[in-house]
A and B are shown apart, each in its own frame.
Chain A
Amino acid sequence: MSFYSAENLYFSYNSTPILQGVDLHIAEGSIVSLLGPNGTGKSTLMKLFLGLLSPKSGEVILKGKPLQSYSMRERALHVSYVPQSTQVAFAFCALDIVIMGRIAFESWFQKPSKTDMDLARTAMDRLGILHLEKRTFQTLSGGEKQLVLIARSLAQGAKILVMDEPVSGLDYGNQLRLLETIMKLSKEGYTFLKSTHFPEHALMLGGYTYALKDGHILAHGLTCKTITEELINELYHTKIELKQTACGYPVCIPSFVQTKA
């Protein structure tokens, strides 16, 4: 039984084809990174996995059942979304945002129950941001905002997190801390599907990588096997050299740096 997968997905906006015959398989507890140039369909693919868009043909399977057969609420039990950035127009505090992860499981008249509050606080505590609970969301830094949105996903109770370029706009330290958080959660059994512009980040997290170009899967497999100098050149039209460090960890070195040296 496939845990979470897409089979032969086709999608187009009006008549412009975006995805053409995409297969993608995600094993439980794994981290899957999507690589690819801008405008190549990464976000669309993730929206299809979330059920925010419907494929023109092919289907997404979640735990053996087509995603289409899940209601919004049922899907929210299994899969959550960490958007690239959330525009928050009103002055909500961080805890308000996290508690929104429970919205699908409350009825019209209900206030968030004690259990919901506990779930939200526990989620914030796990990520070490409980001290931010009363802070207004807009006043938080980019890294803190991302952690609040991840806490919302944890509060939602879904074990699969779909993340659209989670590190975009974060400073170097926050990028690394966020990747560490993903790694930690993955060890606890969470599954990740995330897009990234940094092959280095995919290499850091390991797991699996799917390289997407012009709506096709160009290459896929274990990250350390998939990301090669040739693939990067083909995806981004830029030359790099992959070097192994002493401990065997691969790093990307752009060619212009080498010519300078």
Chain B
Amino acid sequence: MKNSLLFGLIATALGISLLVSLSLGRYEIDLGSLTQLLLWKVFNIGTAPHDVSLLSNIVFDIRLPRILAVILVGAALSVSGGAFQAMFVNPLVSPGILGVLAGASFGAALGIMISNSWFGVQLFSFTFGFVAVLVALGVAKIYGSSGSKTILLVLGGVISSSFFSALLSVVKYVADPYNKLPTIVYWLMGSFSAVDMKTVSSVAIPLFVSTVMLSLMGKYLNVLSLGDEDAKALGIRVAWVRNSAILLATLLSTLTVVVAGMIGWVGLIIPHIARFMVGADNRVLLPMCALLGATFLIIVDTLCRTSMSIEIPIGIATSLIGIPIFVLALRNAKKGFA
């Protein structure tokens, strides 16, 4: 019962942050007009507010796509981080463990360098996110017959991450320093400012479906944490479960890079906070990660776009906010995880 209360609480917080975020910005809309607009537009109740076309342009065309993207990305990063921490039975694991973020960043940088369309950049980013994970799995597979599977996966991920980080440096080095390099650097800091309805509508369904599916894998990840042999003896197809989790988490992580570039720390700290709240049972933990991650990222993104006259790249903000939280969370991680 304590858990359903917490879920209710965080869901309410998510709803409130959503409304507040919709109302804040360069053109502030008071909550009264916003409610009136939402009721009228969405539910056909009441009357149209004053300035209806201006308000609905700001709310539905500019802010809503961005906020939807923030919600999806926050949930996706947190769930894939939580799932990987469960799978590797290690509290220091983040979504990038198998090299997906390094690969997707390299892909995006390469795309920016050689392609002129935004779609091209996104396609490169998506493709290389998967390529990097395949490299990690391939390295693990070479020595797959002996030793612990997860250790080999971690090593494969380290190798793949380093490799694609090196390639990223190559791209940065050779990219046109006046035109292309700033774009690459800015992209790597992460931002939702370029998100429009087209991007959101193309990634929303895969992001949402994968987040839900990965959240529902908690009970299998629980069993997997007992070790491969135990899980197999219980009748679980271990390789199938592990590969599905990796596939879903990879899809989620690459899509976050496609939408918003590199956003660090969310996938590492949110699972810790969620674990502190609801415990380590992945059946409860992963859905909580999704809710909490979405709420956290809305708050951070709203701060990023409203606190200063220029927008703060969200990747910088999540790191600056995330690190102190992580230091606090480590105290609990010591007892809560083991």
User: Closest CB-CB distance, A230 to chain B, in whole Å?
Assistant: 35
Q: Are A103 and B235 in contact (CB under 8 A)?
A: yes
Q: Are A83 and B223 in contact (CB under 8 A)?
A: no
Q: Is there a chain B Cβ closer than 8 Å to A108's Cβ? A: yes
Q: Is there a chain A Cβ closer than 8 Å to B226's Cβ? A: yes
Query: How far does the alpha carbon of A88 sit from the alpha carbon of B217 in the complex, in Å?
Result: 18
Query: How far does the alpha carbon of A111 sit from the alpha carbon of B219 in the complex, in Å?
Result: 9
Q: Are A89 and B234 in contact (CB under 8 A)?
A: no
Cβ-neighbour of B233 out of A76, A87, A106 (below 8 A): A76
What A residues does B237 contact at CB under 8 A? 72
What B residues does A100 contact at CB under 8 A? 222-223, 226, 234
What A residues does B336 contact at CB under 8 A? 91
User: Closest CB-CB distance, A102 to chain B, in whole Å?
Assistant: 9
Residues of chain A touching chain B, judged by Cβ–Cβ distance below 8 Å, are 47, 50-52, 72-73, 75-77, 80-81, 83, 86-92, 96, 100-101, 103-106, 108-109, 111, 138, 152, 156
Interface residues of B in 196-239 (CB under 8 A from A): 216-217, 219-220, 222-223, 225-227, 229-230, 232-237
Cβ-neighbour of A73 out of B220, B222, B235 (below 8 A): B235
What A residues does B86 contact at CB under 8 A? 90
What B residues does A80 contact at CB under 8 A? 233-234
Q: Is there a chain A Cβ closer than 8 Å to B55's Cβ? A: no
Q: Is there a chain A Cβ closer than 8 Å to B311's Cβ? A: no
What A residues does B217 contact at CB under 8 A? 108
Nearest 5 CB-CB pairs, A to B? Answer: A104-B235, A76-B235, A81-B233, A90-B280, A89-B89
Known: A90-B89, A90-B222. 16 other contacts (CB 8 A): A47-B229, A51-B232, A72-B235, A72-B237, A76-B235, A77-B235, A80-B234, A83-B230, A83-B233, A87-B227, A92-B280, A96-B222, A104-B234, A108-B216, A156-B234, A156-B235
Query: How far does the alpha carbon of A89 sit from the alpha carbon of B285 in the complex, in Å?
Result: 15
User: Closest CB-CB distance, B222 to chain A, in whole Å?
Assistant: 7
Q: Are A106 and B219 in contact (CB under 8 A)?
A: yes
What B residues does A92 contact at CB under 8 A? 222, 280-281
What A residues does B78 contact at CB under 8 A? none
Residues of chain B touching chain A, judged by Cβ–Cβ distance below 8 Å, are 86, 89, 216-217, 219-220, 222-223, 225-227, 229-230, 232-237, 279-283, 336-338
Query: How far does the alpha carbon of A138 sit from the alpha carbon of B336 in the complex, in Å?
Result: 12
> A72, A73, A109: which has the most chain B beta carbons within 10 Å?
A72
Cβ-neighbour of B236 out of A96, A103, A138 (below 8 A): A103
> B220, B230, B336: which has the most chain A beta carbons within 10 Å?
B230
Query: How far does the alpha carbon of A159 sit from the alpha carbon of B237 in the complex, in Å?
Result: 21
Cβ-neighbour of A86 out of B219, B226, B281 (below 8 A): B226
What B residues does A76 contact at CB under 8 A? 233-235
User: Closest CB-CB distance, A205 to chain B, in whole Å?
Assistant: 22
Query: How far does the alpha carbon of A91 sit from the alpha carbon of B217 in the complex, in Å?
Result: 18
What B residues does A156 contact at CB under 8 A? 234-235
Query: How far does the alpha carbon of A223 sit from the alpha carbon of B129 in the complex, in Å?
Result: 60
What A residues does B226 contact at CB under 8 A? 86-88, 100
Q: Are B232 and A103 in contact (CB under 8 A)?
A: no
Q: Are A86 and B227 in contact (CB under 8 A)?
A: yes
User: Closest CB-CB distance, A103 to chain B, in whole Å?
Assistant: 5
Q: Are A91 and B280 in contact (CB under 8 A)?
A: yes
> B86, B225, B336: which has the most chain A beta carbons within 10 Å?
B225
**Residue of A at shortest CB range from B233?**
A81
**Residue of B at shortest CB range from A102?**
B234
User: Closest CB-CB distance, B104 to chain A, in whole Å?
Assistant: 27
> B230, B235, B281, B282: which has the most chain A beta carbons within 10 Å?
B235
Q: Are B281 and A96 in contact (CB under 8 A)?
A: yes
What A residues does B219 contact at CB under 8 A? 103, 106
Query: How far does the alpha carbon of A51 sit from the alpha carbon of B222 in the complex, in Å?
Result: 22
Pull 14 A–B residue pairs with CB atoms less than 8 Å apart, ordered by A.
A75-B235, A81-B229, A83-B233, A86-B227, A87-B227, A88-B225, A88-B226, A90-B89, A90-B280, A90-B282, A106-B219, A108-B216, A109-B216, A138-B338
Q: Are A81 and B230 in contact (CB under 8 A)?
A: yes
Query: How far does the alpha carbon of A96 sit from the alpha carbon of B225 in the complex, in Å?
Result: 13
Query: How far does the alpha carbon of A109 sit from the alpha carbon of B212 in the complex, in Å?
Result: 10
Cβ-neighbour of A103 out of B89, B223, B225, B281 (below 8 A): B223
**Residue of B at shortest CB range from A50?**
B233
What A residues does B232 contact at CB under 8 A? 50-52, 72
> A87, A91, A156: which has the most chain B beta carbons within 10 Å?
A91
User: Closest CB-CB distance, B92 to chain A, in whole Å?
Assistant: 13
Query: How far does the alpha carbon of A89 sit from the alpha carbon of B223 in the complex, in Å?
Result: 11
What A residues does B230 contact at CB under 8 A? 81, 83, 86
**Residue of B at shortest CB range from A87?**
B227
User: Closest CB-CB distance, A42 to chain B, in whole Å?
Assistant: 15
Query: How far does the alpha carbon of A232 sit from the alpha carbon of B293 in the complex, in Å?
Result: 62
Query: How far does the alpha carbon of A100 sit from the alpha carbon of B226 in the complex, in Å?
Result: 10
Query: How far does the alpha carbon of A96 sit from the alpha carbon of B281 in the complex, in Å?
Result: 9
What A residues does B225 contact at CB under 8 A? 88-90
> B219, B223, B280, B281: which has the most chain A beta carbons within 10 Å?
B219
Query: How far does the alpha carbon of A105 sit from the alpha carbon of B223 in the complex, in Å?
Result: 13
